[in-house]
Structure 1
């Protein structure tokens, strides 16, 4: 959602690397001012240096309410509003079967991947509810009052789920799968609760992507796992982060104003 008055503003968590970084870069290419948020502030600053538009780098621990609230406050203080958000911060956790998986590993994955998304939704939506609805192109919708119910949009949010949030996945642990299933539940509930307020909430479900987190996980996986992961996709390869970024930007755009509570699978044919 873009405003004719100012540059639209996007907030991206986990944007110090991988899919989050690629998405921040793509939003900047599209003209958005960017809030680059990550638990690794130095990595966030590195991403900020790649952007073509104004932005700020913010340290955030998505498992802490005070940190998430401070992130949103920093975004609003700098840019005045948040038009879009991509809640990308997440972790894999250990690649262990249920019997061998320690309880604290389960708790950590659920804290980051589920509570983190819930907290981001909580404070992002609270801010968006305070914002005046924006129409990027009023003339586009002027003669369609009964077709498009989102003529005045307060905000659009995309959550990072996974193909592992739709079905079990080789070498991906149960806590990670459970967390990504939960993200879809949060997405659908938030979409239902705030649709009439002009806030859209969707999710992306990428398969394995070529990110630092994936490669770190592969180092702990059995030999040959990387090759098996590539071969299991009909496309014959894993995803590039930029391919996921394009999907996120589309879901946040005016191209799909009636799309909310949905998930978009980006899985190379799986």
Structure 2
């Protein structure tokens, strides 16, 4: 058991743009050292240049075990441990009804969005299990010895699901399947590792102002273009990536030590 006297370490996949970039920036603002991972190494390096704390940029293909294992190894070699991880890497894919969707497109999206999260969890959790539990603020929990943050935490992980993991969306069956799968994987991992001091949660954003959404809108069939219409949302706008990043960092923080196996719906009132 140890008290955390050095900067905590956060690993962010998909950190080269959008929600991943915003999350890495926010972790750094909160004092975390950051591992920024993306399939586009140059974009990860650009994010790294925005951070106020030490960090490294790592190229990763989350659909490949060897690449994910190498990412975790690089993080540990540089910083010694991983306290938090946001598994944000993913893709949207193409848009068609089920009868018209190519089988290979289903396999590709599931490999990145679902298997990718599973692989990241596999290697992140394996590393966290080797780490000594950390008590970040012993005085805060001294009168509550059963609170898990007092007992010590080995790590906290947040996975990127989506509103598409909560409801079916037309023309989007592979993406929906992948994001529903993320929630099942999240709840399973949370149940398996809670007693080891590892929390696992998920965020489920609706339309968010990211490059991925911009690319997706160019492919939207007319029937689903309303999904990203700001007027559809009670606020009259879609989410900013920084708003999702705040939720991720909160789920990784000491503020919710009893929260695991949960998904946080962030849909602006939809």
Q: Measure the CA separation in 2 of the matches of 1:52 and 1:3.
A: 23
- Secondary structure of 1:218's partner? helix
Secondary structure at the counterpart of residue 118 of structure 1: helix
Query: 1:239 — aligned with what?
Result: 239
Equivalent position of 2:249 in the other structure: 249
Query: Cα RMSD (Å) of the superposition?
Result: 1.5
Aligned to 1:154: 154
- Distance in 1 between residues matched to 2:85 and 2:229, nearest whole Å: 29
How far does residue 72 in structure 1 lie from its aligned partner after superposition? 0.2
TM-superposed deviation, 1:233: 1.7
- Partner residue in 1 for 2:262: 262
Worse-superposed segment, 224-233 or 70-79: 224-233
After superposition, the Cα gap between the structure-2 partners of 1:95 and 1:3, relative to the gap in structure 1 and judged at 3 Å, is farther
| Whole-angstrom distance in 2 between the partners of 1:111 and 1:170 | 21
Deviations 1:168-203 (A, max 9, x none): 1355x1000010000000000000000000000000
Distance in 2 separating the partners of 1:20 and 1:229: 23
In 2, Cα distance between equivalents of 1:53 and 1:239: 26
In 2, the alpha carbon distance for the partners of 1:72 and 1:25 equals: 20
- In the alignment, is the contact (CA less than 8 A) between 1:162 and 1:206 conserved in 2? yes
Corresponding position of 1:59: 59
Rounded Cα–Cα distance in structure 1 between residues aligned with 2:131 and 2:81: 7
TM alignment of 1:105-120, pairs within 5 A: 105-120=105-120
Aligned-partner Cα distance in 1 for 2:228–2:182:
26
Pick closer, same or farther for the CA change 1:209–1:66 going to 2, 3 Å: same
SS state of the match for residue 234, structure 1? Answer: coil
TM-score, L = length of structure 2: 0.96
Aligned-partner Cα distance in 1 for 2:86–2:186: 12
- Answer yes or no: is the 8 Å Cα contact 1:207–1:266 preserved in 2: yes
Contact 1:9 1:34 in 2 (8 A): yes
Q: Is the 8 A contact 2:15 2:21 kept in 1?
A: yes
Q: Unaligned 5+ residue runs, structure 1?
A: none
Look up the match of 1:181: 180
Q: TM-score, normalised by structure 1?
A: 0.96
